[in-house]
Structure 1
Amino acid sequence: MSTSSLRELLERLGPDGVLACTCGKHHRISVKQVLVGEDALRESAELLRQQRGGGPVLWVLSDEHTEAAAAERWKTAVSASRIAARVLPGEPRPVPTLALVNELSAEVRALSPDLLVSVGSGVISDLVKKVSLDTGVPNWCVVTAPSVDAYSSATAAIRIEGYHRAVPARPSEVIVADVEVIARAPHPLFLAGLGDLLAKYLAHLDWNLARTVTRESLCDTIAGLALGSAREALAAARTWQAHPLAAVRSLTEAALVSGFAMQALGSSRPAASAEHTIAHFWEMAGAVAEEEHDLHGLLVGAACRLVLPGYVDWYRRLAETQVDLEGRLMALEQEPPWDERLEAKMGPFRHKIAEEMRGRVRDRATLAQHLGAFARERESIQRMAEPLLRELSDAITLLAGAGFPFSLDELGIDEHYRLLPVRNVRLLRNRYTTFDLAHELGQEEALVAAISRGVLG
């Protein structure tokens, strides 16, 4: 049986893919079937025969590792179909560049298949979803590791001009997650999946903060599903030794719920906040020395642990914070432009920062509304934040006991890049977080200092 969050989400889906929701908006999820179980590979082969019949032409993408883990067996199971396959090298790991997307798209156009199939983890899934959008050919996804929530999202992380960008992609029509296959994935990929789920606590906190302070729209249904699935997976992680397949299934389903939540909302707001911005910066900057540790979820988990002491300290003091409205508005209006105070090491990221800053509204009326909302609601904000931060702290303790590499030394993150994204997180993403409110209140330096003490102390 599915865990409650995935089951609830799928039960809410109408035949047209619209998610039944109380927020008044029509959220759409483009998925026809989700197969999660111990025999999902065989079931998916039968489903292909039922849905496609007549020996469809398939184009299957894997890498050398996922070919051995599942792709070879899956292709044998659907042998009645005509299959064209591309197997990428396993070492070094494939990089999802735009050049590779274009190369694969040209191959697909030349073959004119009926269906694209990804067999792998995040990179393989993202490549196929992007190729699917570019070529107009639908796609299925066969999951081989519970490391990311990309499988069910409507975006793909593609490296463009040196940056990882979340670009539009075509969601998979069918997602296949065979828990026996996934259970054999390398252990760091499990830890990466759990690390990515830690972010749901900070995402939930910062999204609720933005609703209160900036009046950003928040869907309680989607927010609750994303956070609930993370809680379920982390609870299952406590019983990993006794019930490994159940824990694998719970983690996999939590990752799928997170991706569906992003797809339904049309953004990563339910699943990602400042910690993802920090992790993406480390990825873009090539800050991780060892490839084995250069996994998105490991970096996200480390970023959660990095910012947690600052968030705890800052929210603990929140109810005491008084707002000098006119003084703060004057100080904010007198700030020099961001490009005049940009740190030298941020120079290579100037183009990305410029893109993000163009989307911001910084007029006096907007800032006054933010500060006024905070002054009225600071106690309720504190009551919302503190239980989530305690849960996150407990989850980090749990994962540390399971061997999660939270230490920036262990991850091999270059010292020059450890705190650089923390100091500049507001510039790197146009998304309202605790860092933005701290800046507007004149407390950003205190927040960053508390985080820095955790690194340097």
Structure 2
Amino acid sequence: MSNPTIERALAAASETKGFISGSGCRADVPQIFQQYFPGVTALIVADDNTFRVAGQDVYERLQAAKIPTEQPFIFPGTPVLHSEYRHIEALRERLKPLANVIPIAVGSGTINDMVKRTVYELDRRYMVVATAASVDGYSSFGAPVVQGGFKKTMECPAPLVIVADIEILRNAPADMTAAGYADLMSKITAGADWIIADALGITPIRPDIWEMIQPPLRGWVTAPEKLAAGDDEAFSMLFEGLSMTGFAMQAMRDSRPASGSEHLFSHIWDMQDHRDASGSNVSHGFQVGIGMLGVTALMETVFRRDIRALNIDARCQQWPSWEAREAEIRQAFAGMPIVDRVLIESRMKYLEASDLRARLHLVAGIWDELGQRVTAQIFPYPILRQKLQVAGCPFAPDQIRLTREQMKQTCLMAQMIRNRYTILDLAYELGWLEECANEIASSSRYFS
């Protein structure tokens, strides 16, 4: 059955040309593979877990359809597999001499990302059979990969074809589905950040991209209780929403449509190798979910303030020189190899006092309207918290072993790390960021 929303998105996307979703659609993989990759050999890439869940089935169906297949390439399922460059090198060495072989990634974020980068290095394409509605990375360009101990997003195109069998997604571990829900919900605050950047003339909203995500977003996340109940339609909507955000990033060639200040919180925790109480890494979705709570609290706190109380002259006089700001950044990221990159990003968005003055006058002139737009975009904090709870996500920082002080420090550090204008930058330029972070940390509304 055709999906007009997906069809329009595929027309706008630059890399993905096929999207097949439905209950039992893994049975169509042989036909789909022949359609998009005629006359070539298939190689299943999975880990022990995803091969058991779907890879074996897909492999046997390819063989039954007389499609040439290589012996599957299977990564160990334990310990938990991470997207590390050494795994990409191993897969690349397997594929390199096999010029007529196209991989089929069977897995979720990690397997997809590693195959995505591998085929880019070999100038090939691939298809993916999703095993969990856990990330928006299936359909996005680029892949986060750990190399030399540091996570960075590496260039690579999205898959040519995505297959999402709802039966498989429905049976995925509940925490993976919950992580996908939180990741999709984070597009709410990402949209609010884009509204702010647009209003200040920094990053104009592209209406075609905005329409791909924001109008249907509330429908995609409206019923988390149905996910918990295993409802097929809810899983279909979740995967559609995650995929649409990836298609939007493809069309724009930028992650702005799907990533705002909540993702900057997550990046800080990745840099710090933050772990939960069991010593395990916290999933990306759960990190951005808690980041979204922090950002929502900040947006509410900032826009409750009266802009008329701001003394623009005094703020401009207090504005630190770049040399002073550099010293603050070096102190905040002392001992972290990422500090040089952070300095580059912060320097690109640093304003001289005269430019700050002009921006603050602009902000003051549109304050009420901007506050109304942002408030209309976000979920009120209690509702957001409840939705995350119902979906099975962490809904308080301490559930992923974060204290009030850590949340406050994350808020300050996250503002420094990327040249992408968000609520963090607005609050910093107003001179309110640290004050608001302290207010949130001491508030019973946000920390009960």
TM-score (norm 1): 0.89
Counterpart among 104, 125, 130 of residue 143 in structure 1: 130
Query: C-alpha root-mean-square deviation of aligned residues, in Å?
Result: 2.4
* Contact kept in structure 1, 2:44 and 2:105, CA below 8 Å: yes
Alignment gaps of 5+ in structure 1: 20-27
Q: Which residue number in structure 2 is paired with residue 294 of structure 1?
A: 282
Q: Does 1:7 align with 2:23?
A: no
Q: Which residue number in structure 2 is paired with residue 370 of structure 1?
A: 359
For residues 432 and 405 of structure 2, what CA distance do their matches in structure 1 show? 23
Q: Does 1:65 align with 2:49?
A: yes
TM superposition shift of 1:416: 7.2
Of 142-151 and 102-111, the range deviating more from structure 2: 102-111
Describe the shift of the 1:148–1:322 C-alpha distance in structure 2 as closer, same or farther (beyond 3 A).
Answer: same
TM superposition shift of 1:371: 1.6
Of 280-289 and 330-339, the range deviating more from structure 2: 330-339
Describe the shift of the 1:102–1:225 C-alpha distance in structure 2 as closer, same or farther (beyond 3 A).
Answer: same
Describe the shift of the 1:365–1:139 C-alpha distance in structure 2 as closer, same or farther (beyond 3 A).
Answer: farther
For residues 85 and 73 of structure 1, what CA distance do their matches in structure 2 show? 12
> 5 Å matches for 1:341-356?
341-342=328-329, 344=331, 346-347=333-334, 348=336, 349-356=338-345
Describe the shift of the 1:392–1:61 C-alpha distance in structure 2 as closer, same or farther (beyond 3 A).
Answer: farther
Q: Which residue number in structure 2 is paired with residue 47 of structure 1?
A: 32
Any idea what SS the aligned residue of 1:216 has? Answer: coil
TM superposition shift of 1:383: 0.7
Q: Which residue number in structure 2 is paired with residue 419 of structure 1?
A: 408
For residues 450 and 188 of structure 1, what CA distance do their matches in structure 2 show? 32
* Contact kept in structure 1, 2:139 and 2:158, CA below 8 Å: yes
TM superposition shift of 1:231: 1.5
Task: For 1:173, give the aligned amino acid.
Answer: L
For residues 89 and 405 of structure 2, what CA distance do their matches in structure 1 show? 34
TM superposition shift of 1:426: 1.2
Counterpart among 348, 371, 376 of residue 359 in structure 1: 348
Any idea what SS the aligned residue of 2:349 has? Answer: coil
For residues 100 and 325 of structure 2, what CA distance do their matches in structure 1 show? 49
Describe the shift of the 1:414–1:448 C-alpha distance in structure 2 as closer, same or farther (beyond 3 A).
Answer: closer
* Contact kept in structure 1, 2:95 and 2:101, CA below 8 Å: no
> 5 Å matches for 1:173-322?
173-240=160-227, 244-289=231-276, 290=278, 294-317=282-305, 319-322=306-309
Q: Which residue number in structure 2 is paired with residue 23 of structure 1?
A: none
Using the aligned pairs only, state the percent identity. Answer: 24
Alignment gaps of 5+ in structure 2: none
Any idea what SS the aligned residue of 2:138 has? Answer: helix
Per-residue CA distance 1:314-364 (angstroms, 9 max, x = gap): 1122x5444444333332254643331237462213133123224325234
Of 395-404 and 265-274, the range deviating more from structure 2: 395-404
* Contact kept in structure 2, 1:293 and 1:411, CA below 8 Å: no
Of 251-260 and 386-395, the range deviating more from structure 2: 386-395
* Contact kept in structure 1, 2:10 and 2:18, CA below 8 Å: no
Per-residue CA distance 1:179-231 (angstroms, 9 max, x = gap): 00111100000110111122111111110100111432211221232223431
Any idea what SS the aligned residue of 1:428 has? Answer: coil
TM superposition shift of 1:432: 0.6
Counterpart among 121, 128, 149 of residue 162 in structure 1: 149
Q: Which residue number in structure 1 is paired with residue 389 of structure 2?
A: 400
For residues 118 and 427 of structure 2, what CA distance do their matches in structure 1 show? 41
Per-residue CA distance 1:45-98 (angstroms, 9 max, x = gap): 2122234344x2223221111111111111111112222421111122222122
For residues 420 and 409 of structure 2, what CA distance do their matches in structure 1 show? 18
Describe the shift of the 1:13–1:292 C-alpha distance in structure 2 as closer, same or farther (beyond 3 A).
Answer: same
For residues 50 and 266 of structure 1, what CA distance do their matches in structure 2 show? 27
Task: For 1:57, give the aligned amino acid.
Answer: T
Any idea what SS the aligned residue of 1:175 has? Answer: strand
Counterpart among 56, 61, 68 of residue 77 in structure 1: 61
Task: For 2:8, give the aligned amino acid.
Answer: E
For residues 400 and 320 of structure 2, what CA distance do their matches in structure 1 show? 40
TM-score (norm 2): 0.91
Task: For 2:430, give the aligned amino acid.
Answer: L
* Contact kept in structure 2, 1:59 and 1:115, CA below 8 Å: yes
* Contact kept in structure 2, 1:58 and 1:84, CA below 8 Å: no
Any idea what SS the aligned residue of 1:427 has? Answer: coil
Any idea what SS the aligned residue of 2:157 has? Answer: coil
Describe the shift of the 1:450–1:194 C-alpha distance in structure 2 as closer, same or farther (beyond 3 A).
Answer: farther
TM superposition shift of 1:369: 3.6
TM superposition shift of 1:375: 1.6
TM superposition shift of 1:260: 0.9
Q: Does 1:95 align with 2:79?
A: no
Q: Does 1:33 align with 2:18?
A: yes
Any idea what SS the aligned residue of 1:142 has? Answer: strand
TM superposition shift of 1:155: 1.0
Describe the shift of the 1:346–1:51 C-alpha distance in structure 2 as closer, same or farther (beyond 3 A).
Answer: closer
Per-residue CA distance 1:403-444 (angstroms, 9 max, x = gap): 322233222347874433212111112111111111111111
Q: Which residue number in structure 2 is paired with residue 24 of structure 1?
A: none
Describe the shift of the 1:153–1:51 C-alpha distance in structure 2 as closer, same or farther (beyond 3 A).
Answer: closer
> 5 Å matches for 1:129-140?
129-140=116-127
Q: Does 1:441 align with 2:425?
A: no
Any idea what SS the aligned residue of 1:87 has? Answer: strand
Describe the shift of the 1:51–1:410 C-alpha distance in structure 2 as closer, same or farther (beyond 3 A).
Answer: closer
Q: Which residue number in structure 2 is paired with residue 25 of structure 1?
A: none
Any idea what SS the aligned residue of 1:288 has? Answer: coil
For residues 414 and 448 of structure 1, what CA distance do their matches in structure 2 show? 13
| Number of equivalences | 440
For residues 440 and 157 of structure 1, what CA distance do their matches in structure 2 show? 30
* Contact kept in structure 1, 2:46 and 2:74, CA below 8 Å: yes
